[in-house]
Structure formats: structure tokens, C-alpha cells
Amino acid sequence: MSRFAKVKTAEKFELSTYKYGFSMPENYVFKAKKGLNEQVVAMISKMKNEPEWMTIFRLKAYQIFLGKPMPEWGADLSDIDFNDIFYYLKPNIKTEKSWDDVPSEIKDTYDKLGIPEAEKDYLGGVKAQYESEVVYGSLQKKYSDMGIIFCSMDEAVVKYPELVTEYFGKLIPSGDNKFAALNSAVWSGGSFVYVPKGIKVDLPLQAYFRINSANMGQFERTLIIVDEDSYVHYVEGCTAPIYSTDSLHAAVVEVFVKKGARCRYTTIQNWSTNVYNLVTKRAKVEENGTMEWVDGNLGSKITMKYPAVVLAGRKAHGEILSVAVAGEGQHLDAGAKCIHLAPDTTSRIISKSISLKGGRSSYRGLVSMAPGAKGARSKVVCDALILDDKSRSDTYPTNKILENEVTLEHEATVSKVGEEQLFYLMSRGFEEHEAEAMVVNGFIEPIVKELPMEYSVELNRLIQLQMEGSVG
Amino acid sequence: MIKISNIKVSVENKEILRGVSLDINPGEVVVVMGKNGSGKSTMANTLMAHPKYVLEEGTIELDGEDITELSPDERANKGLFLANQYPMAVPGLTANSFLWQIYKKRNGSRISIIEFRKWIEEQAKLLDLDVELLKRGLNDGLSGGEKKKLEIMQMLVFGPKYIILDEIDSGLDVDALKKISTTIATVAKSKKIGVLVITHYNRILKYLVPDKVVVMEDGKIVKEGGAELANVIEEKGYKK
């Protein structure tokens, strides 16, 4: 082999190391194989140089995963083949993938969104985003001066063992559900955030810029702790479509909101439509604290995601604002859970779903009020918009009310974009798809206005793109 | 000129228009009167290509071009504007944003959004329409009169060659009627716009003086005359 060839190999190797945030022997590259067993779980832990407790945690979670049946109450998961998935680094696949392999509809979307070349490569999974290193570096300095910890979860396990052992897996134990168990066994990547007491972080923390590990990993694990009277807005991912060859994305996100603190967590999920997106998200909110989940689901083949707030302290408040756009071949089963455990706790759920081109969206929600949650109030609004006769929308609300002195409101609407509405807008000179997009954008406006500016603009444009060609 | 030639139109397989011909010249006010169910509104919707109204026979020309096969947006882009009897609500799409989008569609971005907003506010004041209502979803929760005023706002931004007013006067109080109809009359006169007025009553004709009045009955035009015909109908009703 020539010297040049060798250099090239080394480059590839560095890339993968960089992207996944841990190192491994070079020859290991060629040993990656599909499937899961105890050895694979142990190997993942070993490669990350994890402390023993985490290795044990993973192995236990793997046993729980094996013992749990596939959930059958929601979307159809019967096509998932756990033996056909890579559970750890597969650099020879990732790095050899070229721009040519990225599906043309995704490339077109990048072009229409005007995303720069470097970002296209990154979003397309072709390479890691070295270019953002400078940006990230300067933010890191600012955060650390304020005492904020913002790093990859992998790094946190080694660097901040006290915090991690106190909170990790405490809100979403491995036994919570089959996919939380799977994540607990094989997790990699994700963010760790700690905001000390009384700190209000003015700019949103964006996983997008935390690039020294895979921020869009397959089994990412995120843990956020917002200490008393602090505020943070965490933004996961970005609105541009993420192309992934991985068929399964099972993330776990735990958020602890302390007394008087507030956390907002914004996600716009836009996986390519071959991905099963099965995510467990939960926040625990203490006295006078506020948790807000702002959740957008555009992509994936199947999504099952029900961000939860556990309102554990008096006057704790939770909000879950979500929007789902289900197109051809997609089933988005999304919703929310509000668990009221303390008096005078309040919650609000606003769910908006759009079904088009034969897509299916479901709202699945739980409001639970425990004995003693006197004065608890909750309001649920779920609106569905169906664009054509091929598409479908369902609502599955569950209420468990075990206390008398509470208030619960539930409103649900299902509407179709009517001929009259389209005719009206078209009579002003707008093409049918433009008219349809106007109705749709109007419909989701209550959610979009909660998003950071650049996200709301991009979300509207993405929906517009999805509308194009949807009508003849 | 809009030239309607012997159109036959059915709605849900029921024939409503049974051979109607009518010309509307630029700068001309043509009034179509008639009882409920005579086919007046069918004519308005057919002109704008509403999908529910099926043109079985006949042609529609606009300034010499056959537009019979064109879709609503294509007809709009030729300069045709329909002020609807029942304007549809589009929640979340603010009237302000919709007006700006109409402006951009018709004119490109010749003026800034700030200048545009200023102009909109002036027009709203002239029509006695609360500008705060423009921040709401289009026609969402507006009164009948407010919706009609918003139709006129859209018309002003749109800048049409021909206007079809489908019972713009229904549900309006005297003041609103006066504001709306004088606004239309002024614009139509200065820009030589052809106006087709579809109405039950002649009270709007005090401000919008007709060049031609036709009376419809049972899907056909049964009478044709000048402004005086409207007065005859007002006095004697639709009886022959």
C-alpha cells in the first residue's frame, strides 16, 4: 500500500472518532457487525472507557430489553428487525458513503432551503461538521464562565460522575419501556446540560453546535438539570431533513426542573422516511417550576413519542406543544403526558396534526391527577387537519382523575381543508398548493410562533415544500 | 370585456343556468337582479371557476381570450376579482399577511412591507375597518360587515380589471353599505374597471350607478334595461 493510501485511511478513522466521541483501535473498524448481545453491550461500554457502574447499568438494561415484549398498542412496529441494526460504530459504512448516495429528494430539499454545501454534507450524513468547531469553541468558553456544563453525555459520565449518578436513569428507568431499555443498554451521544442556581441562559443551547460527538445519533441520551431559579432553552437538531441509513432511532431524554426554574426543550424531527423514531422524553418539575416541550415531527416512517411532565411540586407547570405532519407512508403517533402529583399544578397540551398524501397521524395523550393534587388544572386542545381522502387522523385521550377538586378541559377538532376554503384563496391568484399551504401554515401557527425565529421560517418553508406536488 | 356566451351550468347534476349571455365592458357597471334561486350567484361563481359549478355549455371570454377552461387562480391572474357573498375563514393566516401576499403576487415587492402596512392602515380607516382586526386570522370571528370590508381591502390590494360583487350589500348597515359602494365606485371609475353587481335590492345602486340592469328568472335573463329598470323592480317587485 502506498503512503498516500495510508494517510487516507487515517483520515477516515479520525473522522469517525471525531463524530462518535470515543476512540477505538484502528483494526476495530473492520470488525463492526450487526446484531446485539451481551458482548456487544460490554464492548460499547469498554470502548467508551466507562466506569463499572455504567457497564452494569447497560448490561442490566439489556436483560430488561430482552424480557419486554414489543409494544402493540400503538403504531405497527412488527417490521423492526433488531438483528439487522448496528448498535455501535460502523465507520466503514459512515465514512465511505458519498454525496451520490443521498436520495435526490433530500438533496433537492437542501437546495430549495439554500443550505450551504458544508452543511448539506453534514446533514446528509456524509461527514462530520468540522466547520462549526470555532463557533462551538467560543460558546463553550461563554458557558463555562457562567458555570454551565454543556457537553456530550459520553464525556459527562467520565467528567461529572456525581451529577450523572444522581440523575441518570432516575426519571426514565431502564424498565420504563422496551425502547428505553434498549437505549439504556446501547446509548451513545446526546447532550448533558447542567445550569447552576439562578442562571438564566439567554441564548438557546443548540445541539447542532455541540459537534464533538454525534448529535443526531441513533441511540442518543440526553440529561438536563436546571437548578433552582434558572432558565435554559435547549434546541435539539434542526429543521432540515436528516438522512440516515439507520432504520431505528431510540432516544431517551430526561429533564430535571428544580424549584422556580424553567426549561424549554424544542425539537424539530425531520428524519428520512425510512426511520423508526421511538423516543422517550420526560421531565420532573418541582415547586413553581415550568417545563415546556415544543415538539415538531415532520419526518420518519413511524414516530412514537409522548413527551411527559411529572408535576411533583406545588404550582409546578407543564406545557407540551406539538405539531405533526404525516405524509405518504408515514404514521406519526405523537402526544403528551401530564402527571399531576402536587396541589395547584397546571398543565396545557396543544397538539396539532396534519395528514396528507395517505399519511396517518394520531394524538395519544394522558392526563393523570393523583390523590392530593387539589386545585390541579389541565387543558388539552388537539386539532387535526386532513388534506385528502386517503389520509387519516385518530385521537386517543386518556384521563385518570383520582382527586375531586380539579379542573380538566378537553377540546378536539378534526377538519378537512375544504374545497370552499381553497377556492376562496385561489380566487386571489394563488395556486392550489399555495392555497393549501396557507391553510396548513395558519393551522399550525399557534405552535410555530413558539419556535425560535429561524426555525419557524424554515418550518413553514418545509411544509410548503411538502405541499408541492401533493395536488395534481 | 367579459363576454359570457350562452352558458349552461349545473350544480350537483341539477341545471341552474339555462343559457345566459351577458357582456361587461371596461368601466361599465352591470347589475344582475333576481329572486333567490334565479341563478345570480351561480353566475358569479361560474365566472370564477368554482369547482362545484359545472359549465355544461357555452364560453366565457376575457378581453378576447377564451378563459372557459382556466382555473380560479389563472382567471384571477387575468385580472378577475370576486367579492364573495360568504368569505371563508382561514384561522392562523392573518389578514395582514394575506394582503401582503396578494400584493407581492400582483406587484412583486415594489414597496416595502412597512410602506405597504401604512397604506393598508389608511385604506382601513377610509372603510371604517378596525386595523386591529387585520392582525386576526382571515375572516376569523369577523362580523358580516367586517368580512365584506375585508373583501374590499383585498380588492384594493389586488387591483382587478373586472370585479364581481356577489351580494356585497347583504347584511350591511346603511353606513357600511355607503362606505363600501362609494369605494368601489371611485376605484372603478378612476381605473376603468368593469363591475358586475349581483344583488336583490337597488339600495346599493344609489352609489354604484348602473349602465345596464338585467333581471334573471329560472336560470335565464328575462329583462334587460337601463338604470330605470332597477327602480321599476323596487316599486313593483319581480312580477312580469
Residues of chain A with Cβ-Cβ distance to B82 below 8 Å are: 427
Among A148-152, A278-282, A366-370, A463-467, which stretch is predicted with the lowest mean pLDDT? A463-467
The chain-wide mean pLDDT, for chain A, equals 81
**Which of B46, B52, B93, B166 is the best residue to mutate to test the A interface, defined by the most A CB atoms within 10 Å of its own CB?**
B93
> What is residue A49's DSSP assignment?
T
**Separation between Cα atoms, residue B235 and residue B202, nearest integer Å:** 10
**Separation between Cα atoms, residue B111 and residue B47, nearest integer Å:** 31
Tell me the residue type at A427: S
Quick check: A405 pLDDT over 90?
A: yes
**Which of B48, B84, B88 is the best residue to mutate to test the A interface, defined by the most A CB atoms within 10 Å of its own CB?**
B88
Residues B123-156 pLDDT 10s? 999 999 999 999 999 999 999 999 999 999 999 9
Residue A293 C-alpha, separation from nearest chain B C-alpha, in angstroms:
21
Beta-carbon separation of A446 and B92 below 8 A: yes
Task: Please name the residue that has the C-alpha cell 323596487.
Answer: B234
Residue bearing the bigger pLDDT, A457 or B156: B156
Residue bearing the bigger pLDDT, A19 or A354: A354
Quick check: A94 pLDDT over 70?
A: no
Residue bearing the bigger pLDDT, A452 or A379: A379
Average pLDDT over residues B10-31: 95
Residues A232-262 pLDDT 10s? 999 886 555 666 666 888 999 999 999 999 9
pLDDT interval class at A453 (50, 70, 90): confident
Beta-carbon separation of A426 and B76 below 8 A: yes
pLDDT interval class at B230 (50, 70, 90): confident
Residue bearing the bigger pLDDT, A190 or A346: A346
**Separation between Cα atoms, residue B82 and residue B27, nearest integer Å:** 16
**Which of A428, A441, A443, A457 is the best residue to mutate to test the B interface, defined by the most B CB atoms within 10 Å of its own CB?**
A428
Nearest chain B residue to A423 by CA: give it.
B50
A472 interfacial to chain B (CB closer than 8 Å): no
pLDDT exceeding 70 applies to what percent of chain B? Answer: 99
Sheet with B80-83, edge to edge strand ranges: B80-83, B162-166, B194-199, B29-34, B212-217, B220-225
**Separation between Cα atoms, residue A149 and residue A257, nearest integer Å:** 15
Quick check: A310 pLDDT over 90?
A: yes
Task: Please name the residue that has the C-alpha cell 387539589.
Answer: A374
Residues of chain B with Cβ-Cβ distance to A427 below 8 Å are: 48, 72-73, 75-76, 81-82, 84
Residues of chain A with Cβ-Cβ distance to B108 below 8 Å are: none
- Is residue B233 within 8 Å of residue B226, measured between CB atoms? no
Nearest chain A residue to B99 by CA: give it.
A428
Average pLDDT over residues A48-69: 95
Report ipTM (2 d.p.).
Answer: 0.96
A99 interfacial to chain B (CB closer than 8 Å): no
**Separation between Cα atoms, residue B171 and residue B184, nearest integer Å:** 17
C-alpha cell at A31: 470488525
Tell me the residue type at B203: R
pTM exceeding 0.80: no
* DSSP states of B97-134: HHHHHHHHHHH-S-S-HHHHHHHHHHHHHHTT--GGGG
**Separation between Cα atoms, residue A416 and residue A358, nearest integer Å:** 14
A196 interfacial to chain B (CB closer than 8 Å): no
pLDDT of residue A129: 35
pLDDT of residue B234: 77
- Is residue A215 within 8 Å of residue A155, measured between CB atoms? no
Beta-carbon separation of B91 and A421 below 8 A: no
pLDDT interval class at A431 (50, 70, 90): very high
pLDDT interval class at B194 (50, 70, 90): very high
A446 interfacial to chain B (CB closer than 8 Å): yes
pLDDT of residue A130: 34
A411 interfacial to chain B (CB closer than 8 Å): no
Residues B28-80 pLDDT 10s? 999 999 988 899 999 999 999 999 999 999 999 999 999 999 999 999 999 99
Average pLDDT over residues B152-181: 93
pLDDT exceeding 70 applies to what percent of chain A? Answer: 76
> What is residue B84's DSSP assignment?
-
Quick check: A16 pLDDT over 80?
A: no
Quick check: A101 pLDDT over 90?
A: no
Residue B237 C-alpha, separation from nearest chain A C-alpha, in angstroms:
33
A420 interfacial to chain B (CB closer than 8 Å): yes
Beta-carbon separation of A442 and B137 below 8 A: yes
Residue A405 C-alpha, separation from nearest chain B C-alpha, in angstroms:
34
Residue bearing the bigger pLDDT, B168 or A3: B168
Greatest mean pLDDT among A270-284, B17-31, B105-119: B17-31
Each domain of chain B, given as residue ranges in start order, spans: 2-236
Residues 6 or more apart whose CB falls under 8 angstroms from that of A160 comprise A149, A192, A194
pLDDT interval class at A123 (50, 70, 90): low
Residue bearing the bigger pLDDT, A185 or A130: A185
A430 interfacial to chain B (CB closer than 8 Å): yes
Closest C-alpha to A291, from A209, A228, A347: A347
Residue A454 phi/psi, 5-degree rounding, is -65, -30
Mark B14-43 as b/e (b = at least 16 C-beta within 10 Å): eebbbebebebeeebbbbbbbeeebbbbbb
Beta-carbon separation of A430 and B138 below 8 A: no
Quick check: A304 pLDDT over 60?
A: yes
Residues 6 or more apart whose CB falls under 8 angstroms from that of B204 comprise B168, B169, B177, B181, B197
Count of CB pairs separated by less than 8 Å, A with B? 70
- Is residue A345 within 8 Å of residue A376, measured between CB atoms? yes
- DSSP alpha helices (H): ranges in B48-193? 72-77, 95-107, 113-126, 144-158, 174-191
CATH class of B2-236: alpha beta
Beta-carbon separation of A429 and B90 below 8 A: no
The chain-wide mean pLDDT, for chain B, equals 93
